[in-house]
Homo-oligomer: A and B are copies of this chain.
C-alpha cells in the first residue's frame, strides 16, 4: 500500500485566509509534520497525529514525512503562507530527488496558499501593484554576496522588493546592510513597509521612508516591502495611508 503526501499552506495566520482546499486536505490526513505554531493553526482531531519540529529543520522534516507516506500513511506537511514560497515544497522536492526511488512514485500534492507578502500588501494598499520580486534575506543557504547582487539588480531595474526572513538573532546585521545598499539606488523617500503578523491579532503594519527604515522594527514574523521609485503614498485623514505602485511606468531603460 502506498500513502499520500500533501503539502499545504495555512496562509499568514488568519483562519479566514486559509483556503477550503487546504482545510479539506488537512481534514483527510492522518499524520501532520510542521513547525509547531503552524500545526497549531489547524483544528486537529484526537485521531490525527502531530509531529512538530523546529523551524530550521525543513529537510529532516521532509524526509520523515516522505518515509511515513511511503509506509502507507496519509501525511500532511504544514507550511505557513504558501508552501511554495520559502517554505516546505522545495524541501520536499530536494528530499525526493536525493531519496530512494520509491519516493518518486508517491502521490504528492501541493496546495497553494496566501503568502505573507500578499497579505501585507493588501493591508497597506497595493505596493505589489506592478513588477516585483520576492527575496529571502537569509544567508544560511546562499552567500551574502548573492543577496546583495540580487538586491542591486532588482532595485536598479525598478522592481518592488518583498523581503522574507529579514532578520533573526543569528542574522542581526543583514537587514541594515540591505537598507544601506538600497539607499544608494533608490530615493530617500521610497516607502518601506514593515508588515508584521498580517491578519493576526498582533498585526502591525508600518510605513516609513527608506531613509528612516530601522531594522529594529522587523523580526522573523515580518515581511518587509520596499517600494520602487514609482511607489506612491496617499495620505488619508484619520486613516492609515494607502501605499501603491501604479500599473503604469514611464521610466525607460
Contacts and interface: CB of A to CB of B under 8 A. Distances in A.
Interface stretch (A30-38, A121-129, A166-174, A216-224): A121-129
A2 interface: no
B133 A134 contact: yes
Interface string A124-167: 01111111111110000111011011101110111100000000
Given A82-B118, A90-B244, A118-B115, A150 B141 contact: no
Contacts of A91: 247
A225 to B, nearest CB: 11
B84 A118 contact: yes
Contacts of A159: 133, 135, 150, 153-154
Contact of A118 (B85, B150, B235): B85
A202 interface: no
Number of this chain's copies in the complex: 2
Given A16-B24, A149-B157, A132 B133 contact: yes
A65 interface: no
A143 B17 contact: no
Interface residues of A, number: 83
Contacts of A146: 158, 249, 251-253
Contact of A143 (B136, B239, B246, B252): B252
A182 interface: no
A148 B157 CA distance: 10
B58 A89 contact: no
Contacts of A247: 58, 86, 90-91, 94, 141
28 contacts: A11-B19, A17-B112, A58-B247, A82-B122, A84-B127, A84-B128, A89-B122, A92-B126, A93-B242, A94-B244, A97-B234, A104-B236, A105-B239, A110-B123, A112-B114, A113-B114, A131-B133, A131-B150, A141-B249, A142-B248, A143-B250, A143-B252, A145-B252, A145-B253, A149-B158, A150-B157, A150-B158, A152-B157
The 3 lowest CB-CB distance pairs between A and B, nearest first, are: A90-B129, A93-B244, A153-B157
Interface of A: 11, 14-21, 24, 58, 82-86, 89-94, 96-97, 104-105, 108, 110-115, 118-119, 121-123, 125-136, 141-143, 145-146, 148-150, 152-154, 156-159, 232, 234-239, 242, 244-253
